[in-house]
Amino acid sequence: MMNNLELLYSSQEIEQAISQIAATLNDTYKDKDPIIVGVLKGSLCFVSDLIRKLSFPFTLEFIRAKSYGLRGDKPQEVTIEGIDFDISHKDIIVVDDIFDRGETLHKILDELNKHHPASIKSVLLLRKKSKKMISLEPDYTLLDIEDKFVIGYGLDYKEHYRGLDGIYAFKSIP
Ligand code: 5GP
Ligand code: MG
């Protein structure tokens, strides 16, 4: 199963990057009590490792983002499910897996902003070098990747491979 995979980031490299971002967040949020909003399913490993390095009080919620339509030159339709918790006047930290063309994060921020939070920041594990569809940048990104399909550390290909402890690219798409 592993011969078709190229390791991009080992679990040690991921851990180091998470420690760095956690230090930044610990400073920024030291007197606050934000809501951490994880985006399922891809952020599952990232969220679970990140929250164990935080030293400020927070609550944790999850939402789901689903994309429809073929990925081409047109923007995809993204829908957000699960915003059923109270956001108004709260500080929000959105935690997601990949910033690719930006449509998903754009839609998430749009939907959350409708509920009048005090502030929103976004933390993205990976930033892909791809043609961005949207003029929006995440507040924090941890690791850069080439424009390749990646899996592992929560990320799937057809719902598999989420349990790999590093981040991998396929040498050839199966
Ligand atoms: P965007 O809306 O920024 O184009 O796409 C972001 C979403 O697409 C990510 O949250 C992720 O769910 C999915 N995605 C984009 N690139 C990859 C990839 O290389 N591997 C996997 N597993 N998902 C990806
Ligand atoms: Mg996603």
Q: What is the pLDDT of residues 23-74, one digit of tens each?
A: 999 999 999 999 999 999 999 999 999 999 999 999 999 999 998 766 666 6
Which one-letter DSSP state was computed for residue 111? H
Q: How far is the CA of 46 from the centre of ligand 1 (A)?
A: 14
**Is 101 close to ligand 1, i.e. is its CB under 6 Å away?**
yes
User: Is there an atom of ligand 1 within 6 Å of 100 CB?
Assistant: yes
Per-residue confidence (pLDDT) for residue 92, from 0 to 100: 98
Residues 65, 112: Cα–Cα separation, whole Å: 12
The arrangement of strands across the sheet holding 91-99 comes to 77-81, 59-68, 35-40, 91-99, 119-128, 140-145
* Residue 110, number of CB atoms within 10 A of its CB: 11
Q: Which of 73, 86, 100, 147 is catalytic?
A: 100
User: Which stretch of DSSP H or E encloses residue 120?
Assistant: strand 119-128
**CA 43 – CA 1 distance, rounded (Å):** 23
Q: How far is the CA of 104 from the centre of ligand 1 (A)?
A: 8
Q: Which tokens is 74 given?
A: 């047109």
Q: Which residues are 144's β-sheet partners?
A: 127
Nearest CA to ligand 1 atom 15: 100
**Nearest-CA neighbor of 46 among 168, 167, 169?**
167
pLDDT at 72: 61
Does the domain spanning 12-145 belong to CATH 3.40.50.2020?
yes
* pLDDT score at 97: 98
Q: Within the chain, which residues score under 50 in pLDDT?
A: none
This model's pTM is above 0.85: yes
Q: Where are the alpha helices (DSSP H) in 7-102?
A: 11-28, 44-51
* Residue 2: predicted pLDDT: 80
pLDDT at residue 73 in the model: 63
Position 45 scores a pLDDT of: 98
Question: In angstroms, what is the span from residue 42 Cα to ligand 1's centroid?
Answer: 9
CB contact at 8 A, 69 and 46: no
Q: Whose CA is nearest to atom 20 of ligand 1?
A: 150
Q: What's the pLDDT at 106?
A: 95
